[in-house]
Amino acid sequence: MPPPRHAEIAGAGFAGLTAAAALAQRGWSVRVHEKGPEVRAFGAGIWIWTNGWRVLEAIGAHERAREDGYESPSIERCDQNGKLLMPPIRFSDHGARMIAVVRQTLIEALLETCLEAGVDVVTNSEVSGASGEGELETAAGGTFPADLVIGADGVNSAVRDSLKLTRRRNGLAYGGTRLLIPRTREEMEDRTDRVLSYLNGERRLLYTPCGRTQTYLCFTVRPDDAEGRAIPVGKKAWIDSFPMLEHVIERVGDDGRWDRYEVIRLKRWARGRVAIVGDAAHAMAPSLGQGGGCAMMNALSLAAAVENASDIPGALAAWEERERPLTERAQHISSMFSGQRTDWRRRGIFETARHRPTGAEGID
């Protein structure tokens, strides 16, 4: 019997770990390289829509990821005084569900799934590039041949850049500080379960129940708003903008980080035996909450595409042709979405959220 085919993966984030688990479950040997000393996500929440939960169920990570998840039924957009700017959007009216989880909870669920499937996860291993012939290279001078190399190493992907695949990389006109705060007893007892998006001029504050005991906040501002993007969060500046939320903002600690959002488009998602997935391939604005969902969908579909393929480059080309259009539509809508409820935008907003990913066809 021939040895199993082998994959080398750069990056132990949502895309890299999903691809690793899906490949290992299909009989591949897999090694994941993580440049940090441990596999971790920064301390914030993440929205997972129906499409993402289908991926997690397909690889068997959904129950662990849902242990501390919190489902919100709707989103309300308000001004700084809490006045509704538009009618609430109920997710079930559009055939979708959204469950927010702590990012680290999701990473741990994916990591445990990988380890159970026999994936070798190597930390303190920084990847410096790859060759189209199927060799992953590390900063320490190592060369790792594989049947398939996957670049899942984020917006600053060394794998992508070594192959000169970037077509366009645009910093958007806003960014956000994302963090978690504890939910109060009153919030838990009152079951404040809606997502609330507050707007005051160029500043936005997103409130998402995330897990049983935490709330995910995102403070969104333009890059030139020095007070708004300060770390630690400038509580006075934000309370001045949203005085009715003083009881929420006062609970913010000294953690958090401000990131300028980016949109990345590639010439191709694959070259030779190398595929690019996740933010490395298609970073997008967070407006739809689909960055993680698209990353996991494309990672699962990649594993399904190469499972028994005799021609890996050909399988990667077919994978890109099938999966790329939906992801790029989500990118486009997320960049221009402003909350207006025109019919065509409503359809576009929930198209990805309802999608049944390749590799998860039998899952409701």
pLDDT at 303 over 70: yes
CATH top-level class for 172-260? Answer: alpha beta
pLDDT at 178 over 90: yes
pLDDT at 348 over 90: no
Q: Is the peptide bond before 325 cis (omega within 30 degrees of 0)?
A: no
Nearest to 350 by CA among 71, 91, 12: 91
Residue 362's region, left for phi above 0, alpha for psi from -120 to 50, else beta, is alpha
What is d(CA 316, CA 208) in angstroms, rounded to the nearest whole number? 37
Main-chain dihedrals φ then ψ at residue 250, nearest 5 degrees: -65, -20
In contact, 81 and 198? CB cutoff 8 Å: no
The CATH 3.30.9.10 portion of the chain extends over 172-260
Report H helices in the chain: 14-25, 50-59, 62-66, 103-116, 158-162, 185-190, 235-241, 246-249, 279-282, 291-306, 312-336, 343-354
What is d(CA 297, CA 204) in angstroms, rounded to the nearest whole number? 29
The CATH 3.50.50.60 portion of the chain extends over 6-71+103-170+262-354
pLDDT at 338 over 90: no
What is d(CA 72, CA 49) in angstroms, rounded to the nearest whole number? 11
Chain centroid, CA 23 distance in Å: 19
Q: What is the mean pLDDT of residues 326-350?
A: 72
120-136 per-position pLDDT tens digit:
999 999 999 999 999 99
- DSSP category for residue 154: -
CA triple 269-274-280, angle to 5 deg: 50
**73 three-class SS:** coil
What is d(CA 88, CA 82) in angstroms, rounded to the nearest whole number? 13
**217 three-class SS:** strand
pLDDT at 1 over 60: no
pLDDT band for 340, please (50, 70, 90 cuts): very low
pLDDT band for 194, please (50, 70, 90 cuts): confident
Q: Which fold has domain 6-71+103-170+262-354?
A: FAD/NAD(P)-binding domain (3.50.50)
pLDDT at 342 over 50: no
What is d(CA 85, CA 199) in angstroms, rounded to the nearest whole number? 9
38-63 per-position pLDDT tens digit:
999 888 999 999 999 999 999 999 99
pLDDT of residue 344: 47
pLDDT of residue 341: 44
pLDDT of residue 184: 82
pLDDT band for 339, please (50, 70, 90 cuts): very low
pLDDT of residue 2: 66
- DSSP category for residue 84: B
227-276 per-position pLDDT tens digit:
999 999 999 999 999 999 999 999 999 988 899 999 999 999 999 999 99
Nearest to 61 by CA among 122, 120, 114: 114
Q: 69 or 189: whose pLDDT is higher?
A: 69
pLDDT at 311 over 50: yes
